[in-house]
Amino acid sequence: MTATRPAAKQENLTGHAPFDVYEIRKDFPILKQKVRGMPLVYLDNAATSQKPQTVIDSLVRYYTAQNSNVHRGIHHLSEIATHEFEGARSKVKTLLNAADDKEIIFVRGTTEGINLVANSYGRKNIGEGDEIIISAMEHHSNIVPWQMLCQETGARLKIIPINDDGELMMEEYERLLGPRTRLVSVVHLSNSLGTINPIKKIVEMAHSYGVPVLVDGAQAVPHTVVDVQGLGCDFYAFSGHKLFGPTGIGVLYGRAELLDTMAPYQSGGDMIKSVTFEKTTYNDLPYKFEAGTPDIAGAIGLGAAIDYVSRIGLDCIAAYEHKLLEYGTAQLLSIDGLRLIGTAKEKAGVLSFNVGEIHPHDLGTVLDAEGIAIRAGHHCTMPVMDRFGVPATARASLAFYNTREEIDILVKGIHKAIEVFS
C-alpha cells in the first residue's frame, strides 16, 4: 500500500516541529521488522508500547559506561549514575507538573503504586464501616488491592456505574460520596473502553467531602498532557513501559503532605537515615518509599522516553491520535456485524470490538497471520466485560507511530476473518 505522506503531517503552533508520522516511525527499530512474512502492524499499545532508539541507547549507555549503584557511592561512576537517576526524577516532575521532586516515587509500575497507597495510606486511614469508591471500568490492579484492604479492615467498596457508551454516571458518583467515604480511586483513561474520565470534576467532588483521590494514569500519560496540580489529585500512578520507556519502572506521584504522614511500604537499604537494634529513623521523601537498589537503568530509560515525547509534544501526539481514532472508528463501523464497545464522547485511541459470532481469540489469530498485533481477551477488566455482556473483546490500541494505512490493513484483516469463519 502506498503511503500518502502529506496527509500524515499537521502544522502546530506549539513550538514543536510539524508532526510527520513517517519520520517518527524511523525512530522505532522494531517497526521495521516482518511478522509471519508480513510487515508488522503493531496495534497493542495499551498493553505495552514500542521503544524509540534513544531509549534503547540510554539503557546500553548506562550498562556500558555508567553502571554503578546510586546515592551511597563517592566514586565517579556512582556520581554519574546518581546524577542520571535523579535527573530522571526531575523529568517526571516536569512531565506531571508536580510541585517538587520529592513527590515523585519510583516504583515498578502502576500496580505497585496503587498497592503502595493501599498499604501505606489505606491501612492507616481506612477502618471498619468506611467506604472506598472506585468505578466499574477499573483495571483489576485498581480493584483487587481495595478488595483486600476491605477484607482486612471491614471497609466497603462502592462502585460508580457506567452507561451504555462506557461513561461514568456522575450523578451516581455524587450519590455515593458521603461522610464514610475515605478514598476515591479511579482510572484516568480506560484501557478497555478508551474513555477519558473527568478527573478534575471527580477530584473536586471528592475534595468537597475532604476525601483524597488516587488516579490510575497508566493509559493517560502516553496520550495526553497530565497536570497533577491542575487536576488537583492527591496520588497519580503510571508505568514507564506504556510511555515508550522500559518495563519494570513506574511512578507514584503523591502530595508531599500526605506522603509525609505515610509509613514506608517496604523496608531495607536507602529508606533509612539510621538503624540501631533499638530504633530505625526513616529517610526523607521520596527515599522513604524506595527501599533497596532501584531500577536505575529503567529510571534513566524513562527519562529518555520523556525527553523523546517532550520533543514531539504530547499535545501534538494527542491531536494526531485523535484524528487517527476518528478514522479508525469510521472504518471499523463500516464493517457489517461489528460492534464497537466503548463509544464515550471523550475518548482516546482504544478500539474494542466484537465481530458477529467470531471469538476475539480466533479473530486475533487470523490477524496475527497477517502481521497484525492486537489484544484479545478481557484486558484485566472482567467487570467491564460483564457490564457489556461479552466474555472478551478484540482491542486495537493506537500510538502516535500508527498510520491510516495500518488501520486499512486491520480492516482488510477483519474482512478476511469474516470470510474464514462464515
CATH number for the domain harbouring residue 334: 3.90.1150.10
- Expressed in angstroms, the distance from the first to the final Cα of the chain is 27
Please tell me the predicted confidence (pLDDT) of residue 422: 85
CA distance 402 to 104: 31
If asked whether residues 263 and 165 sit together in one domain, one would say: yes
Which of 263, 293, 310 is at the close of a domain? 310
Predicted TM-score (pTM) of this structure: 0.95
Helix (H), strand (E) at residue 215: strand 213-216
Residues 216 and 361 in one domain: no
Residues marked active site are found at 380
Q: Strand runs (DSSP E) across 73-201, as ranges?
A: 104-107, 131-135, 156-160, 181-187
Which of residues 259, 293, 310 is at a domain's end? 310
**Where among 310, 326, 355 does a domain terminate?**
310
Question: In tens digits, what is the pLDDT along the chain, a chain of 422 residues?
Answer: 334 444 444 444 445 678 999 999 999 999 999 999 999 999 999 999 999 999 999 999 999 999 999 997 789 999 999 999 999 999 999 999 999 999 999 999 999 999 999 999 999 999 999 999 999 999 999 999 999 999 999 999 999 999 999 999 999 999 999 999 999 999 999 999 999 999 999 999 999 999 999 999 999 999 999 999 999 999 999 999 999 999 999 999 999 999 999 999 999 888 888 998 999 998 899 999 999 999 999 999 999 999 999 999 999 999 999 999 999 999 999 999 999 999 999 999 999 999 999 999 999 999 999 999 999 999 999 999 999 999 999 999 999 999 999 999 999 999 999 999 98
Give the per-residue pLDDT at 133.
98
- Classify residue 66 by its DSSP letter: I
Question: Does 329 map to a domain?
Answer: yes
pLDDT value of position 54: 98
What pLDDT shows up at residue 5?
A: 43
Is residue 79 domain-shared with residue 228, that is, in the same domain? yes
Verify that 223 and 332 share a domain, yes or no: no
In a domain, 44, yes or no: no
Q: Is residue 80 part of a domain?
A: yes
102 in the same domain as 132? yes
Q: How many folded domains does the chain comprise?
A: 2
Sign of the CA dihedral running 171, 176, 182, 185: negative
CA dist 155 and 173 (Å) reads 18
How far apart are the C-alpha atoms of 184 and 132, rounded to whole Å?
6
Measured CA angle at 299 (ends 295, 301), to 5 deg: 115
Task: Give the model's pLDDT for residue 4.
Answer: 40
* CA angle, residues 399, 111, 230, in degrees to nearest 5: 65
- Residue 159 within a domain: yes
Answer yes or no: is 47 within a domain.
Answer: no
- 18 and 159 housed in the same domain: no
Degrees, nearest 5: CA angle 342-346-348: 70
Residue 388 belongs to domain spanning: 5-32+313-421
The residues with which 189 forms a beta bridge, in sequence order, are 196
CATH code (residue 99): 3.40.640.10
SS3 category, 93? helix
**Same domain assignment for residues 306 and 324:** no
Task: Take residue 380 and report the three cell numbers written for it.
Answer: 484485566
